[in-house]
Structure 1
Amino acid sequence: MPDLTKPPSPRPRRRRCRLCGICLGTALLALLVSSLAHLFSPPQPQPQLQPPRPSPSSSPPRFAVIIDGGSTGSRAHVFATGPGGRPDLARSAVMRVTPGLSSFADEPARAGDSLRPLIDFAREKVGGAAAEVRLMATAGLRLQEGRLQEAILSSCRDVLRASGFRFEDSWAEVIPGSDEGIYAWVAANYALGTLGGDPHKTIGIIELGGASAQLTFVSDEVLPPELSRNFTFGGTTYTLYSNSFLNFGQNAAQESFREILRSKDSKNGTLVDPCAPKGYSRIKEVISRPSSASKSKLENQFADSGDGDFTVCRSSSLALLKKGNEECRYQQCQLGPTFVPELRGHFLATENFYFTSKFFGLKQSSSLSDFVLAGEQFCNKDLSTLRKMYPNRSDDDFSRYCFSSAYIVALLHDSLGVPLDDKRIEYSNQVGDTQVEWALGAFISNIKGVIVEPSATGRSAHRSRPLLAVLLGVFLLGGALCLARWRKPKTKIIYDLEKGRYIITRIS
C-alpha cells in the first residue's frame, strides 16, 4: 500500500515581480530609442578646407600659380579653390617649357626669360583674378653650387615681380628633396581620400625623376631625426620617413653609369654598354676640367657600343646604387650611405617608374618579375629589330628603357628588398582622375592652415559610437533573455497522490 504521508514540498521559486519586469522593459526601451537616435544622427563634419570668411559658398575662388623648376623643364601649375575652400581640380591647368633652369648655368641672367611663357599662360587661366605665384626649383638646381643657384633665382625673381601676381622674393627657392617627397605624398593621399585619417591607411610614394628619386611613407620604426618629418592635417599628425636621393634619378643615374664605363671599361675610346641594345652606337664628347680653378679644357670623344645584356646591366646598376655604402653612419644602409626603413603598406610609383611600365605595356599593378621579363626580352633584341617594333621611337629611347627596366629592379628589389612577386606597388601618375604631382601637394599644404576642425566633443562622440553600439547590443540581448524568462507560462507544484510524487502543472 503506497505511503500516503505527504513528503516535504521542494522550496518554491521566488515569484517574479510583474512591476519589476515592466520597469526593466521601459528602461530598455528608453535606452534603445536614445541610442538609436544617437547612432543614426548625422555625424560631425570631417575636417574641411574652408576659407576664413564665414560664408564659404559665397567666397570667390582663390588662385595660386606654382612653377615647378625641374631638371629637364619648368611647369606652371594653376590651382583654384572651389566651394568649401577645397582645391577645384577641374579648374587646374598646367603648361611645360624646356629646357630646365639648370641649363642656364652658363648664362644665369637668361633663366628668368624662360618663365615668361608660363606667366602668360597663368594670366590667361586666372582671367584677371587675384593670384599668387611661387617658384619651387628641384633637383636640377640642387646639383648646382650655391652662387649659381642664387644667380638663376635672382633672374627669375625679376620676372615674377613684374608678373602682376602677388609675389615675395622668398617664394622663389630651391626646395629640399624631402619637401618634394612630402608634397607628392600629400597629393597622392588627398586624391585617395586618406589624408586626415588613419596613418596606417595612407599610401607611400616613390618617385623616380630625372635627377633624383624621392621616397616618403608612414613608418612605425624609430627613425633618425634627419630623416623623420611630422606632417599635420585635419587634426592627425603623421610621422613620415622622407628622403631624396640626389643623382639617383633615372637620367642622372644613367649618366653616372656611363661615366663609370668611361673610367674603367673604355678601350680606344669605345665603351661597351650592357644597357644598350646590340648595334646601338653614340659618340659622346666629354669636357674634363683638371681642377675647379683651372680654365683649361680637355676634350675627348667616346663611342658607346651596345651589348644588350639585361643581367649585367642590372648588376652594374646595383653597384651604382651601393656607391658610397662604405660611408654609412647607420646600422644598415640600403641606398648608398643612406638608411631606408622597411617598406610597409602600399605604394604609388610615379614619373619614370610609370613611364617605363607604360612603354612595356605593363599593368599598373604589375610585379617586379614582370619588369624582369620585359627587360630581358627587350634588351636582348638588336637595334634593327627594335626599330621595326617601335618605328616612332629613337635609338636613345631604346637605350633609356633598357637601362630603366634593369635600374628599377635593382633599386626596388636588389636594394630596397621589395619581393619580385609583390604587387603592393601601383605604377601610375594618377589616382582616379587626379594627376599626382608634388605641386598639388604644395598647394594643399599652403592652404591647410584654414582648416576648420570639428570640436573635441564632436570627435569624441563620433569615436564613441562603435563602443555604444556594442553596449547597446549587450543590453538588448540581456533584456531579451530577461523578458523571455519573465514571460514563461505560470506553473504550480502539486502532490499527486496516485503517483506518490510532486508534479508541475500549468495554471490556466
Structure 2
Amino acid sequence: MASSRLPILLALAFSSLSFVLSHSNREMWFQDFFPPNMCPINAKANTFYGIMFDAGSTGTRIHIYTFVQKSPENLPELEGEIFESVKPGLSAYADQPEKGAETVKRLLDMAIDAVPPHLWKKTPVVLKATAGLRLLSEEKAQALLLEVREVFEESPFLVPEDSVSIMDGSYEGILAWITVNFLTGQLSGQNQHTVGTLDLGGASTQITFLPRFEETLKETPGDFLTSFEMFNSTYKLYTHSYLGFGLKAARLATLGALNMEAVDGQMFRSSCLPKQLEAEWHFGGVKYRYGGNKEGETGFKPCYLEVLKVVKGKLHQPDEIRGSSFYAFSYYYDRAVDTNLIDYEQGGVLEVRDFERKAKEVCDNMERYNSASPFLCMDLTYITALLKEGFGFRDNTLLQLTKKVNNIETSWTLGATFHLLQSLGITY
C-alpha cells in the first residue's frame, strides 16, 4: 500500500472543469458518467474524500483521495492518496460474480479504516470497469456489476445511482491525460506544453495527445477527437482506445487464440516462446494451453513477423506523433522494469528503440529468461511492434515511463474523481 501527503493545489480543477464533447454520443457525458442527482458534499468541511475503483482486466485497484479545504475562502487541495490492488481482475470471476464482489469488499474495507466515520455518508464510492469487462458477454458483465453494487449498498458510504458501470475506453484515455498533465503542471495558467499519454492494459491500449497542427485535425477520424474546456482553456484531444490490443489480449492474438473457445487439449504455439515450453495460462476466466514451436524457428525475427500480423494496418497513425514525447505507463512501465531498462521506484526515460534492443536480447536468449516469464519475449516484441508499426513512432521517440507523479498514481482515476466531485456540486 502506498500513501502520500504532498499537497497539490487544485485551484481551478473543480470550478472550471467542464467538457463539451465533439460528437453527439458524448454531449451528455457528464450526466451519463456521473449523474447529476448525487447528494452534494458540504464544501465547508475541513477534509473530504473520494473513493474510485479501477476494475481492470488484470486486477482491481482502489484509490482513496483526500482533499482538504482549510477555510471556506480557500480552494481545496489534493492532500494525498491511498492505493491498493488485488489480482486477478473482476473478469476472472465471470462465472462466480459473488467471489468477484468479495475482492472489491476487501479493498473497500481499507476505505472504512481510512475515512473518518463522521464523513462516511458524505464520501462517494464509484467503480468503473474497463476493458476486461468489455470483453465479457453483457449478461456476465452485468452480473458482476450487480454484485459489486450490493457491496457498495451495504457499505456506509455515499452510493450514487450509477456508481458501478463499464467505462468507454476513450474516456479512460481522456481521464489519464488529464491526470498526468494536471500532476505535471501542464494545465495551469497559460502553459500549453502538454504531454501525450500511452496506456497499455491487459485487454486494451489507449493513446491521447493534444494536436498542435491543423493538418492533424483534418486527417483524423471524427470519433478520435474530443473537445472540452478546462482551466479557462479549450482543448481538442486526439484520443482512442483499441480493444483487443492490450498486452494479454495481444498474447492471445499472437497465439491465434483471441475470440476462440479454448477447446480441451488444444495447444497454441508461437515462435515467441521457448521451444520446449508447454504450459497453461488463465485470462478472462478461460484456461489456455500454450507452448513453443518445437520444430520451427524461435527468436526475435520470427516472433516479430508473428506479432506484426496483430498490429500491421490495424491502428491509425497520426504523423504528428512521430517526433512527439509521451508519458507511458501500465505494462509499458512493468516490462521496462522487468528487464532493468528503468528503476522500479524512479521510472525513467527511454527511446522506442530501447524496447526493440531489449526484445532482441531476450528473444535470442530465450532459455535464459524463461524462468522470469515465458511471455517476456512476446511481450517486448509486441510493445516494439505496437509503438513502431502500430502507432508509427520513430526509433528515437522519447517515452517517460512512470508509475507516479508527485507521489500520486498516474491513473485515469484522479481525472475521474475530478468529475465525480464536480457532479456532487461542490462550491466555494
Superposed pair shares fold, TM > 0.5: yes
SS of 1:405's equivalent in the other structure is helix
Residue 398 of structure 2 corresponds to residue 406 of structure 1? no
Counterpart Cα distance in 2 of 1:94 and 1:193: 22
Determine the structure 2 residue equivalent to 1:64: 50
Is the Cα–Cα contact under 8 Å of residues 62 and 80 in structure 1 kept in the other structure? Answer: yes
Instruction: Provide the secondary structure at the position in 2 that maps to 1:163.
Output: coil
Alpha-carbon offset, residue 321 of structure 1 = 1.1
Which residue number in structure 2 is paired with residue 355 of structure 1?
334
CA drift at 1:446: 2.8
Q: Contact between 2:317 and 2:391, CA under 8 Å: does it hold in 1?
A: no
Instruction: Give the aligned partner of residue 438 of structure 1.
Output: 412
| Structure 2 residue 313 is matched with structure 1 residue 320 | no
Compute the displacement of 1:284 (Å): 6.8
Number of the residue aligned with 1:127:
116
Question: In 2 relative to 1, CA 132–272 (structure 1 residues): closer, same or farther, beyond 3 Å?
Answer: closer
Give the distance between the partners of 2:241 and 2:288, measured in 1 at CA. 33
C-alpha distance after superposition, 1:37-86 (max 9, x if no partner): xxxxxxxx995347899x98x64222111111111221111012124444
Q: Of 270, 274, 298, which aligns to 1:273?
A: 270
User: Could you tell me which amino acid in structure 1 is paired with residue 181 of structure 2?
Assistant: N
Q: What letter matches 1:434 in structure 2?
A: I
| 2:95 aligned counterpart, secondary structure | coil
After TM superposition, the structure 1 = structure 2 runs for residues 343-422 of structure 1, keeping only pairs within 5 Å, are 343=321, 345-363=324-342, 364-383=348-367, 385-386=368-369, 395=371, 397-422=372-397
Percentage of identical aligned residues: 26
**How far apart in 2 are the matches of 1:244 and 1:374?**
26
Unpaired runs of 5+ residues, structure 2, are: 1-8, 17-39, 343-347
Matches within 5 A, 1:21-36: none
Residue 84 of structure 2 is matched in structure 1 by 95
1:468 maps to which residue? none
| Whole-angstrom distance in 1 between the partners of 2:10 and 2:58 | 40
Match of 1:81 in 2: 67
Q: How many residues align?
A: 369
Q: Relative contact order (C-alpha < 8 Å, sep 6+): which is higher?
A: 2
- Structure 2 residue 98 is matched with structure 1 residue 112: no
Q: CA deviation at 1:410?
A: 0.5
Tell me the residue number matched to 2:37.
none
Identify if the C-alpha distance between structure 1 residues 239 and 451 changes in structure 2 by more than 3 Å, giving closer, same or farther: farther
Question: One-letter code of the match for 1:239?
Answer: K
Partners of 1:70 and 1:139 within 8 A in 2:
yes
Instruction: Note if contact 2:369-2:376 (Cα within 8 Å) is conserved in structure 1.
Output: no
Could you tell me whether the CA contact under 8 Å between 1:178 and 1:242 is conserved in 2?
Answer: yes
The amino acid of 2:369's aligned partner reads: L
Structure 1: runs of 5 or more not aligned: 1-44, 290-298, 326-333, 388-394, 454-508
- Residue 314 of structure 1 deviates from its aligned partner by 1.8
- When residues 301 and 440 of structure 1 are mapped into structure 2, their CA distance, relative to the original with a 3 A threshold, is closer
Greater fraction of residues in helix: 1
The answer as to 2:225 corresponding to 1:224 is no
- Residue 164 (str. 1) matches residue 150 (str. 2): no
1:214 and 2:193 aligned: no
The code of the aligned residue for 2:373 comes to: F
Change (3 A) 1:139 1:197: farther
Instruction: Answer yes or no: is the 8 Å Cα contact 1:229–1:242 preserved in 2.
Output: yes
Are the structure 2 counterparts of residues 65 and 177 from structure 1 closer, same or farther at C-alpha, using a change threshold of 3 Å?
same
Query: What is the CA deviation profile of residues 438-496 of structure 1, one whole-angstrom value per residue up to 9, with x for unaligned ones?
Result: 1112112333577999xxxxxxxxxxxxxxxxxxxxxxxxxxxxxxxxxxxxxxxxxxx
Q: 1:148 aligns to what?
A: 140
Q: Aligned-pair distance for 1:271? A: 5.2
8 Å contact kept, 2:317–2:392: no
